[in-house]
Structure 1
Amino acid sequence: MNAMIPLLALRTQEVVRTWRVWVLPGVLVFLAATGPVITRFTKEILAGALGGGELGAIPIPDPTAADAAGRWITDLSQLAVFVVVVMAAGAISSEVRSGVASLLLVKPASRVAYVVSHAVVLMLFVAVAAFLGATVSWAVTGLVFEGAAGGVELVALLGATGVWVVLAAVLIAISLLASAAFDAMAAAAGIGIGAFFLLSLAGMAPHLAEFTPAGLIPAASAIATGASLNAAAIWWPVATGLVLAALLLATAVLIFQRKELR
């Protein structure tokens, strides 16, 4: 693939020198730092809002470190995915509209390298930011739940985050495909977000969750909280998620190869 190394360097510079380098890590670190605190003091927060008498009528169990770990995965799956999708949705379409894509492809750089370089740098950036956030979440959990991360193992939290990163890779591939197919960033972002909701709904079906990428979110939550889960329920979603991401990326390449540039 012609010019892959220069394109990878260019994509890295685009991340480091633009809003992306601050927004995604900033969002993830904020969620990682505040999630355990909110989990630990949920009862106190509700007591202040509702009053002690009304709170007594609501059976709320005492929060645990496992709850904080589960909240981290929930925050990733409910908030961070939108930032990831928006980043990927505008990657190709914005450069096509501005004419940057045409300039890059006469360097010469192949269209395959052009699409793949976007995917590689975005996926690596999301992975680094997510693992950084997981480490912060583990450290803050240890502080608010009094030592040793309240019993949550860093390896388990990183493993759960790694499973989520596979989901992010699938969403990046879908969004890049949509970005290659449509010039409007809003359309590409809508497709990426719609795909996320479809995967979330499919994850509620046990058979789909066990053998398809729809099980990535349940698997990540189970690993983070220490819930019992057989190995197949982890590796099947991860393996099928990686295969799906590769197929989607290949489709994005095919679509972009046929796209008429300005």
Structure 2
Amino acid sequence: MQWITLFQKELLENWRNYKWIWVPLAIVLIASMDPITSYYLPQIMEAVGGMPEGASFELPDFQPSDVVMMSISQISSLGVLIIVLMSMGTIAGERKSGVSELILVKPVSYNNYITAKWAGLLVLVWASLFLGMLSSWYYVNILFGVLSFISILKVVFFYGLWLSLVATVSIFYNTLFKTPGLVAFLSIATIMLSSLITKIFGQRFEWSPNNISIYIKEMLVTGSVSADLLATALITIGIIAVLLIGSIFTYKTKELAN
């Protein structure tokens, strides 16, 4: 009962901060941008002008899977940045303002407090991702060819795990520091560092969460979920669990120390 109350508080707080409006809208725009611009780019170039007389601009024939991965690529950069920025004060902001102390003065467990914050953030992230990929799927089917709805649901599920990891990294740093800007910096730095390590030691980190987009692309092309994708998904879930437990432990330790 206590957890549900805290969870509802998070959902309401996100609504009052207009996160339920601007975050989904931003993700929808990001996900829809590439399908539309890729299809109409020749016309845009022709309208803008500046090309030599007689020259033509032709794009390769994109497959629906290619265009979906363009949307994923945009979310991997701009979308991740949005998630980090909108979550950087989830706990750090309350710690800095003293709100968390007022909440925890009551008989509220640290487990419930952290996990409710985390779950509230994930609901917003997953809802935004679903709407974004739904808009991408709509334009892909109209402009590039048929892609089944089941395929896009699989994309949302597996890629949602990666965004959940990003959100959990942010929550973890929220429990360590009271400065939202520092939380955002360290979250982005951690994501970039993990990507760099994966690229350098690719053969040893085949199931790194950073590779999940590669296996999603294979899934769209082959139509089947590979063992590599399942293994990467399980490892991602495991890392999320470790970070969440670590968040509870570090926050409890810091609060008791104070």
The corresponding residue for 2:87 is: 88
The corresponding residue for 1:218 is: 214
The corresponding residue for 1:186 is: 181
1:203/1:217 contact within 8 Å kept: no
In the alignment, the residues of structure 2 paired with residue 84 and residue 158 of structure 1 have an alpha-carbon distance, to the nearest angstrom, of: 20
1:174/1:248 contact within 8 Å kept: yes
In the alignment, the residues of structure 2 paired with residue 200 and residue 49 of structure 1 have an alpha-carbon distance, to the nearest angstrom, of: 39
Q: 1:216 to 1:202 in 2, by over 3 A?
A: farther
The corresponding residue for 1:30 is: 29
2:219/2:225 contact within 8 Å kept: no
Q: CA deviation at 1:207?
A: 2.7
The corresponding residue for 2:75 is: 76
1:203/1:209 contact within 8 Å kept: yes
Instruction: For structure 1, list consecutive stretches of 5 or more residues without a partner in the other structure.
Output: none
In the alignment, the residues of structure 2 paired with residue 38 and residue 203 of structure 1 have an alpha-carbon distance, to the nearest angstrom, of: 31
The corresponding residue for 1:63 is: 62
The corresponding residue for 1:196 is: 191
Aligned pairs, how many?
A: 255
Q: What TM-score, normalized to structure 2?
A: 0.88
Q: CA deviation at 1:206?
A: 3.9
1:212/1:236 contact within 8 Å kept: no
State the secondary structure of the residue aligned to 1:171.
Answer: helix
In the alignment, the residues of structure 1 paired with residue 204 and residue 40 of structure 2 have an alpha-carbon distance, to the nearest angstrom, of: 36
State the secondary structure of the residue aligned to 1:210.
Answer: coil
2:125 corresponds to which letter in structure 1?
Answer: V
1:15 corresponds to which letter in structure 2?
Answer: N
Instruction: For structure 2, list consecutive stretches of 5 or more residues without a partner in the other structure.
Output: none
Identity of aligned residues (%): 22
2:90 corresponds to which letter in structure 1?
Answer: A
1:219/1:234 contact within 8 Å kept: yes
Q: How does 1:62-141 map to 2 (within 5 A)?
A: 62-141=61-140
2:31/2:75 contact within 8 Å kept: no
Q: 1:202 to 1:37 in 2, by over 3 A?
A: same
